[in-house]
A and B are shown apart, each in its own frame.
Chain A
Amino acid sequence: MGKSLSEKILERAAGKSVSPGDVVEVGVDIVAFHDLTGYHVIEVLEKATNGNIRVCDANSLVIAFDHLVPPPDVRSAEIQQSIRSFVKKHTLKNFHDVGYGILHQVLIERYVVPGQVVMAADSHTTTSGALGAFAQGLGASDIAAIVLTGKTWVTVPQPFKIKLIGSLGKWVTGKEVALEILRVFKAEYFNGMSIEVFVENPTAFPMDFRATVANMGIEMNADALMFVPDSETINFIKSERGFEPKIITPDKDAEYVDEYTIELNKVELLVAAPHSVDNVKSVREVWGTEVDYVFIGSCTNGRVSDFEIAAKIMKGRKVKSRCIAIPASWNVFKKCLELGYIQTLVESGCIVTYGTCGPCIGGHFGIAAPGEIVVSTSNRNFIGRMGSPEAKIYLAGPAVAAATAVAGKLVEPGDVM
């Protein structure tokens, strides 16, 4: 009997045969943290070693500042300062200071290759599954243990197959596909499973869309979500990093607990209504809801294709809701700048900045007030997530968010163009 992608990766990392349900120790290829979890990781490292930290493999450690960027208060600045001195002391080279980008975006742009085991101190580490890596978020203590030992334990998940066939309708993106999965299965269904996504026509579902779906694998409570590597994966790494990666794919006769097929042309424009990611509705069902604040960005939808869509809709139009737009990395920002998307968004009345989680986590750079209605392209609409617990957050894809900003109420792009 053949093996799924997650089993094959974990077998390589464990150095022995594995089956779903096994608890195994695996070698970790990339371990990462950001500012807001990083200082906590370092605290644990210090306690565990009485201040005598020895980093197991400095080359595999990636650090990027994103949550407290740029630092909104003294404590945030102090947190970053403490991590910088850790970086210096251990001469770590994979360090990205304020403004470089959101960790998950940096990981897929620069570091991760198919088949790796990636563990980072942030739940949206699942994003790296877009490249066919086995990627999981962990808490600060678990990450500290990996920094020291290079290893961690995992429960081998039950693999579940999702097939994407055909191509998407106008304005429909990876976000709607992620929401469609949540609409059908709800947030708890995939607990203990790894979702392996097979794309029938690789170019019909580009890397940006894959990253959005993989990012929201954690919202599905999947242990991991990975796209089976294909020509799109190879082309992405070639164009971003200039080399052709080796790929591993599941065996043809791999056994899955179940499978589900999504016909992409049938996926509608969707939103997740307050206060839960699986409270999915079609835009028509919530059409006309007045919206105070639109946020376009985050590790979910802060990529070039997101700003391309937003710019197409906003071009020559002014926004009625206040709008904050944040490309997920310096690299994305620069490309959007060259392509004219930043200018379009600025002329429409958006505030554009880069490389911060700020609004997504209710940190800074745009906090929601009590009673406000927010439309966000991020991944969580939990109570209090973007500021006041009395704010209501709708999650949407870039097209619905941009159209909503223009109309001042929840609409589809066709309503404003």
Chain B
Amino acid sequence: MIVEGRVIKLGDKIDTDVIIPAKHLKYTNPEYLAQHVFEPIDPEFYKKARGAVIVAGKVFGMGSSREQAAIAIKAAGIRAVVAESFARIFYRNAINNGLPVIICPGISREVAEGDWLRINIETGEAVINNVKKVMCKPITGMALEILKAGGLLEYLKKLKNY
């Protein structure tokens, strides 16, 4: 599975209150949530999101368990989030909603805003601007199975043993 796109860079410790503020949590509608993604730091963020790949620092998605954070990022058209590390709950929420999340220690130093990043999520191989290669951690195990099924809902439907 290959994902690629233009890089939008964010810093360390991006929390889910910043990704989608609590006032929007009474809805789960992806189109609605997409318009408010990253609203506290940039109300216009969603306009530049389509087709991009977010590259961020440590513990991306920390804080609240709100699944809307992953839904909003995906629905805004972000193709993947690559970060030095992820908060545990966000990581699972992203996979459960079919948003590829790739752990890549050191990535913030390697890429700049606007670069083109292409990643093979099963091998972890990433290529910056079609030239420079970097190794990220491949997605494996349960996470890969759920992502390949298209998210947890699809995965559950396939299980059908409940």
CB-CB < 8 A to B41: which residues of A?
Answer: 383, 389
Is B157 a contact of A40 with CB atoms below 8 Å? no
Q: Please judge, given known A-B contacts A362-B22, A362-B23, whether A145 and B156 are in contact too, CB under 8 Å.
A: yes
Q: Please judge, given known A-B contacts A122-B65, A139-B65, A140-B67, whether A383 and B17 are in contact too, CB under 8 Å.
A: yes
| Bound-complex Cα distance A123 to B66 (A) | 8
- Interface stretch, picked from A43-51, A225-233, A404-412, is A43-51
Q: Assess whether A56 is interfacial by the CB under 8 Å rule.
A: yes
CB-CB < 8 A to A144: which residues of B?
Answer: 156
Is B89 a contact of A138 with CB atoms below 8 Å? yes
CB of B29 to closest CB in A, whole Å:
10
Interface string of B82-100 (1 = CB under 8 A from A): 0001011100110011000
- The interface size bin for chain A is 35 or more
CB-CB < 8 A to B159: which residues of A?
Answer: 149
CB-CB < 8 A to B152: which residues of A?
Answer: 44, 141-142, 145
- Interface stretch, picked from B55-63, B107-115, B126-134, is B55-63
Q: Please judge, given known A-B contacts A40-B67, A188-B58, whether A79 and B26 are in contact too, CB under 8 Å.
A: yes
Q: Assess whether A303 is interfacial by the CB under 8 Å rule.
A: no
Closest to A140 in B: B67
CB-CB < 8 A to B63: which residues of A?
Answer: 123, 218, 380, 382
Q: Assess whether A75 is interfacial by the CB under 8 Å rule.
A: yes
Is B65 a contact of A75 with CB atoms below 8 Å? no
In-complex Cβ contact of B13 among A123, A188, A384 (8 A)? A188
Q: Assess whether A343 is interfacial by the CB under 8 Å rule.
A: no
| Bound-complex Cα distance A123 to B15 (A) | 12
Is B17 a contact of A187 with CB atoms below 8 Å? no
For residues 117 through 162 of chain B, which have their beta carbon under 8 Å from a beta carbon of chain A?
A: 141-142, 151-153, 156-157, 159, 161-162
Q: Is the interface of A mostly helix, strand, loop or mixed?
A: mixed
Is B92 a contact of A389 with CB atoms below 8 Å? no
Q: Assess whether A94 is interfacial by the CB under 8 Å rule.
A: no
CB of A285 to closest CB in B, whole Å:
21
Q: Assess whether A339 is interfacial by the CB under 8 Å rule.
A: no
CB-CB < 8 A to B93: which residues of A?
Answer: 139, 141-142
List A residues at the B interface (Cβ < 8 Å): 23, 36-37, 40, 43-44, 47-49, 54, 56, 68, 75-76, 79, 121-123, 136-142, 144-145, 148-149, 153, 155, 187-188, 191-192, 218, 221, 223, 276, 361-363, 380, 382-385, 389
List 5 A-B residue pairs with CB atoms under 8 Å apart, sorted by A's residue number.
A155-B88, A188-B58, A218-B63, A380-B15, A382-B18
List B residues at the A interface (Cβ < 8 Å): 12-13, 15, 17-18, 21-23, 25-28, 40-41, 58-59, 62-68, 70, 85, 87-89, 92-93, 96-97, 141-142, 151-153, 156-157, 159, 161-162
Pairs A-B, 9 closest by C-beta atoms: A139-B67, A139-B93, A384-B40, A123-B65, A148-B162, A141-B96, A389-B40, A382-B17, A137-B65
